[in-house]
């Protein structure tokens, strides 16, 4: 059976992101109707979340700095990491402000029209934890 009934899901952008991650984690559960529901809702959520993802993308300069920091972390050189951060205060502040803006966006209320998850589409193998996360679709 295909999902056809739609509902308005009211949450925050963060809640919709978490729902998207839950749907992604459920992709391997075998049940045709449930799989269709996941794919359709995932496509809708991806469109909604894409602008926030774009705003969260670090600059090339910060990515380069991050790679250097990761190498220092692998070497357990915390003094080197600290020095790297002190040498690049503008980049660090820029990234901090960028993530603050993204967090503000994630905390904003949001509504999106998704396909309802009905009992006949529920696979037998869902845990209570997953069901709780999917409750926005019920």
pLDDT tens string 62-120: 999 999 999 999 999 999 999 999 999 999 999 999 999 999 999 999 999 999 999 88
At 1 the pLDDT is 62
Question: Do residues 130 and 137 touch, judged by C-beta distance below 8 A?
Answer: no
In the chain, where the domains are located: 6-137
pLDDT(61) > 70: yes
Q: Is 92 left (phi over 0), alpha (psi -120 to 50) or beta?
A: alpha
Alpha-helical segments (H) within the chain: 13-25, 32-56, 60-74, 78-87, 89-107, 128-134
Over residues 115-133, mean pLDDT: 90
Prediction pTM value: 0.87
- Please, what is the average pLDDT of the chain? 94
Tell me how many degrees the CA angle 51-56-61 measures, rounded to the nearest 5. Answer: 130
The half-sphere exposure of 137 on its side-chain side, counting CA atoms within 13 A, is 29
């Amino acid at each position: 059976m295909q999902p056809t009934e739609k509902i308005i899901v009211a949450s925050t952008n963060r809640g919709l992101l978490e729902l998207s991650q839950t749907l992604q984690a459920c992709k391997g559960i075998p049940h045709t109707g449930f799989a269709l529901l996941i794919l359709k809702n995932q496509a809708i959520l991806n469109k909604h979340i894409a602008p926030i993802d774009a705003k969260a993308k670090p600059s090339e300069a910060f990515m380069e700095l991050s790679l250097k920091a990761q190498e220092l972390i692998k070497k357990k050189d915390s003094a080197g990491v600290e020095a790297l951060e002190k040498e690049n205060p503008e980049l660090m502040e820029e990234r901090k402000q960028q993530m603050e803006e993204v967090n503000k966006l994630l905390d904003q209320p949001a509504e999106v029209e998704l396909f309802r998850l009905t009992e006949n589409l529920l696979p037998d193998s869902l845990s209570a934890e997953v069901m709780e996360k999917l409750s926005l679709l019920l």
